């Protein structure tokens, strides 16, 4: 499946509904899916990506708090408070990615 996100996929996970990559509304992390399943410490849904963060942008600015950490966004299509989420996208050809293990034009 072309758009399937599996372990090892390089992804960008947006914090909010927007998809801005720059500017004050740009809030996302980029990294690698290292697992799928429960998010610690308590989870009953088992529907989360585990993403090892290589780059963090918040409000359009580079941040480092989450770099090297794992984040647990819900799997795409998971029903939530605001409807089915689709906040994680597979990186196919993003802008030049500078840090960590990410390189430009992945996959």
Footprint of Zn ion (CB under 5 A): 43, 45
Q: Which of 75, 70, 97 is nearest to 86 (CA)?
A: 75
Residue 103: CB minimum distance to Zn ion, A: 31
CB 73 within 8 A of CB 34: no
Residue 9: CB minimum distance to Zn ion, A: 20
Which CB atom, from 45 or from 92, has the smaller least distance to Zn ion?
Answer: 45
Which CB atom, from 20 or from 72, has the smaller least distance to Zn ion?
Answer: 72
Distance CA 59, CA 40 (A): 27
Residue 64: CB minimum distance to Zn ion, A: 26
**Dihedral in degrees, nearest 10, Cα atoms 56, 71, 10, 31:** 30
Which CB atom, from 36 or from 63, has the smaller least distance to Zn ion?
Answer: 36
């Amino acid at each position: 499946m072309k758009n399937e996100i599996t372990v090892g996929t390089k992804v960008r996970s947006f914090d909010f509904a927007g998809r801005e990559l720059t500017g004050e509304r740009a809030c996302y992390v980029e990294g690698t899916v290292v697992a799928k399943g429960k998010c610690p410490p308590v989870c009953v849904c088992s529907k989360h990506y585990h993403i090892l963060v290589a780059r963090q942008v918040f409000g359009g600015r580079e941040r480092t708090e989450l770099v090297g950490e794992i984040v647990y966004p819900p799997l795409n299509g998971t029903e939530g408070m605001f409807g089915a989420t689709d906040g994680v996208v597979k990186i196919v050809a993003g802008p030049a990615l500078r840090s960590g293990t990410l390189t430009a034009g992945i996959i």
